[in-house]
Amino acid sequence: MFGKSTTEPLERLRVGCKFEVYGTDWEIVAIGEYDWKMDGSSVEYTLSSKGKEAYLEVEIYKGAYEVYFSKAISMDQGDIEEGLEREELYFNGKTYELDEVYEGDFRNLTARSARENLKCFQFYKGDEFVTVELWSDGSFETFLGEEIKAKKIKNLRYE
């Protein structure tokens, strides 16, 4: 499941765990949970490495892991709104097509926050995606990422 380094299942990850993805050592610093209502749920791990932040989102779909690795990106709100209307988003010279829309809520399990409602838009170009999260207060967050195989997570350790 994690290459040759371990047989630990993904759902046993916790704050403080360290592992490698694409040759970079990451540490889990927070855990959040998305409840997508009828579409299930997923767990989001906030990762930190040398002052950089990334996210690992894990869900089990039809008995198999779906794993997404992403980083926050900055986009102009006008560009986001226009992209939502057109159902395609332009970023870094690429066009991403709207593929999925989910509604649900999120809560930070580490900080024990209250649930916050959101609508999530997934735009794809090949294996890459841009996620736009529209929160109930009207704010947007955007992420660039890709779906990865669980075996890309290597050298899992609990320190």
Q: What is the pLDDT of residues 7-46, one digit of tens each?
A: 456 777 899 999 999 899 999 999 999 998 877 889 999 9
Low-confidence ranges of the chain (pLDDT < 70): 1-9
In a domain, 104, yes or no: yes
Provide the pLDDT for residue 8. 53
Domain carrying residue 77? 10-158
pLDDT score of 40: 80
Please tell me the predicted confidence (pLDDT) of residue 36: 86
- Residue 150 within a domain: yes
Q: Is residue 35 part of a domain?
A: yes
| CB burial readout 124-133, b (16+ within 10 A) else e | beeebbbbbb
22/18 Cα distance (integer angstroms): 13
Contacts of 137 (CB under 8 A, 6+ apart): none
* 2 in a structural domain: no
Cβ-based neighbours of 10, under 8 Å, separated by 6 or more? 1, 58, 65, 67, 150, 153
Residue 4 located in a structural domain: no
In a domain, 106, yes or no: yes
Alpha helices in 42-95 (DSSP H): 77-86
| Inter-residue contact 120 to 101 (CB < 8 Å) | yes
Count of structural domains within the chain: 1
Residue-level pLDDT at 120:
95
Residue 3 lies in a domain: no
The answer to the question of residue 36 being in a domain is yes
Length of the chain (residues): 159
